[in-house]
């Protein structure tokens, strides 16, 4: 993978060159990669030289010409070009220069994969009430499921772990004295540390006292055969719990999915931060590292989902962070 720190600096052209450079520098100063965006902006600055533009002004004419559809171009490529232009225009307005900000109706078709299901706070409460009401089963295939699942699903929602990360935890990956999880060799081949809340640490400590295994490198959430829980077993328990909690399910592949607990964790974090007046541009890199995202652009997607899920803070987010809320596209896992 190319690292922008190892790449030669991109050149910007024309009267907008200083502002293009300053915009990219601001993004990178707070932890954004912005290599693809920088390349698009470099191409735009060269494109803009064919227009008569006053100094430090982004005219409607040049913006509309730049975001216009092109032959043989995918909707996704055009939308990325539109998104970068919106963010640059909003940056110019924010620092005091006139700029035409294209409307969403000018974006064309959006590239989508799936729409994550964001649980409401009430649904989360109902879900965990159902989790905690699980009873011992006579099924020899999962005799300790009622002990494992309350911990597993809390790790997904309270820490934003991927299912594979939670089920792969070994006993020595869960440091109960410090409340730190060690996530080893996860997606992108990276390891990371994830701190737990005091409440979750205490919950895991109580569970640890019931574990039948005493070897530190055994699975923290063992299945009956001593291995770890398969994803299909977690999914089956999840579906049963949704039904018990009165949360409708659209069928396999339609959601809610187990992975949506991770998405909900991120959105609820951002909601709380916005409502408490936190600086989101400073907080996002921390959330990126917590979730194990490779690029900050993946974490930015949760800004859009937060604005959509909570209309009462949508206007505030658009006002303060509209220039970094990304276009709707593929949501990273």
Q: pLDDT for 54-96, tens place per residue?
A: 999 999 999 999 999 888 888 888 888 898 999 899 999 999 9
Mean pLDDT of 269-281: 83
pLDDT at 314: 56
Residue 327, domain member (yes or no)? no
Positive/negative CA dihedral, 210, 211, 213, 214: negative
Do 286 and 187 lie in one domain? The reply is no
Tell me, yes or no, whether 250 lies in a domain.
no
- The beta-carbon contacts of 203-210 under 8 Å, at least 24 apart in sequence, are 203/150, 203/151, 203/154, 204/151, 204/174, 204/176, 205/176, 207/147, 207/150, 207/151, 208/174, 208/176, 210/147
User: What's the confidence (pLDDT) of residue 272?
Assistant: 87
Contact 62, 15 (CB under 8 A): no
Residue 48 falls inside a structural domain: yes
Residues 127 and 240 in one domain: yes
Indicate if the pLDDT at residue 188 is higher than 90. Answer: no
Q: Is residue 332 part of a domain?
A: no
251 in a domain, yes or no? no
132 and 240 both lie in a single domain: yes
Neighbour-count burial of 13, counting CB atoms closer than 10 A to its CB (0-12 exposed, 13-18 middle, 19+ buried): middle
Q: Are residues 144 and 238 in the same domain?
A: yes
pTM score: 0.64
The last residue of a domain, from among 67, 82, 106: 106
Domain boundary among 106, 141, 171: 106
**In-domain check, residue 255:** no
Query: Quick one: which of 101, 98, 102 has its CA closest to 90?
Result: 101
Residues 212, 271: one domain?
A: no
Residue 275 lies in a domain: yes
Same domain membership, residue 134 and residue 41: no
- Domain of residue 25 covers 4-106
pLDDT grade for 108, boundaries at 50, 70 and 90: low
At 161-181, the pLDDT tens digits run 999 899 989 999 999 999 999
280 and 220 part of one domain: no
Mean pLDDT of 7-20: 84
Please check the confidence at residue 327 and state whether its pLDDT lies above 80.
Answer: no
What span, in angstroms and rounded, lies between the C-alpha atoms of 96 and 90? 10
What is the number of domains present in the chain? 3
Q: Tell me which residue of 260, 90, 240, 294 sits closest to 160, measured CA to CA.
A: 260
| Claim to verify: residue 23 and residue 85 sit in the same structural domain | yes
Residue 152 belongs to domain with CATH number: 1.10.443.10
Whether residue 79 is found in the same domain as residue 145 = no
For residues 227 and 218, the answer to whether their CB atoms sit within 8 Å is no
Is the pLDDT at 111 greater than 80? The verdict is: no
Closest CA to 43 of 100, 81, 98, 87: 81
Averaged pLDDT score across all residues of the chain:
82
Q: Are residues 278 and 220 in the same domain?
A: no
Residue 194 phi, psi dihedral angles, 5° rounding: -125, 115
Cα torsion 61, 64, 69, 75 to 10°: value is: 160
Based on the fold, state whether residues 184 and 98 are members of the same structural domain. no
- According to the model, what pLDDT value does residue 290 have? 83
User: Is residue 126 domain-shared with residue 209, that is, in the same domain?
Assistant: yes
139 within some domain: yes
How far apart CA 218 and CA 40 sit, in angstroms, is 49
Tell me which of 288 and 306 has the higher pLDDT.
Answer: 288
Q: Ranked by mean pLDDT, which of 28-37, 151-160, 248-257, 323-332 comes out on top?
A: 151-160
């Amino acid at each position: 993978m190319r690292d922008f720190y190892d790449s030669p600096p991109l050149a910007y052209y024309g009267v907008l060159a200083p502002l293009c450079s300053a915009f990219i520098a601001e993004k990178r100063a707070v932890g954004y990669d912005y290599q693809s965006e920088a390349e698009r902006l470099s191409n735009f600055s060269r494109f803009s030289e064919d227009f008569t533009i006053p100094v430090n002004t982004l005219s409607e004419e040049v913006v509309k010409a730049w975001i216009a559809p092109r032959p043989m171009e995918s909707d996704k490529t055009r939308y990325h070009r539109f998104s970068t232009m919106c963010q640059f225009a909003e940056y110019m307005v924010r620092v005091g220069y006139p700029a035409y900000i294209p409307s969403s109706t000018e974006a064309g078709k959006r590239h989508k994969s799936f729409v994550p299901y964001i649980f409401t706070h009430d649904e989360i409460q109902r879900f965990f009430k159902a989790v905690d009401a699980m009873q011992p089963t006579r099924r020899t295939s999962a005799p300790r499921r009622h002990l494992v699942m309350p911990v597993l699903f809390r790790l997904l929602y309270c820490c934003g772990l991927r299912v594979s990360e939670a089920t792969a935890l070994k006993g020595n990956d869960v440091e109960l004295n410090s409340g730190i999880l060690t996530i080893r060799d996860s997606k992108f081949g990276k390891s990371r540390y994830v701190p737990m809340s005091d409440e979750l640490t205490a919950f895991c400590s109580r569970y640890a006292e019931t574990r039948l295994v005493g070897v530190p490198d055994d699975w923290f959430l063992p299945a009956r055969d001593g291995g770890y829980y398969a994803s299909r077993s977690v999914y089956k328990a999840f579906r049963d719990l949704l039904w018990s909690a009165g949360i409708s399910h659209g069928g396999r592949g339609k959601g809610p999915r187990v992975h949506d607990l991770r998405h909900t964790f991120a959105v609820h974090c951002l909601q709380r931060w916005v409502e408490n007046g936190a600086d989101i541009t400073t907080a996002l890199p921390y959330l990126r590292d917590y979730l194990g995202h490779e690029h900050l652009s993946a974490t930015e997607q949760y800004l859009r989902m937060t604005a959509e899920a909570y209309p009462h803070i949508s206007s505030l987010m658009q006002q303060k962070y509209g220039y970094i809320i990304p276009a709707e596209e593929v949501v990273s896992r």
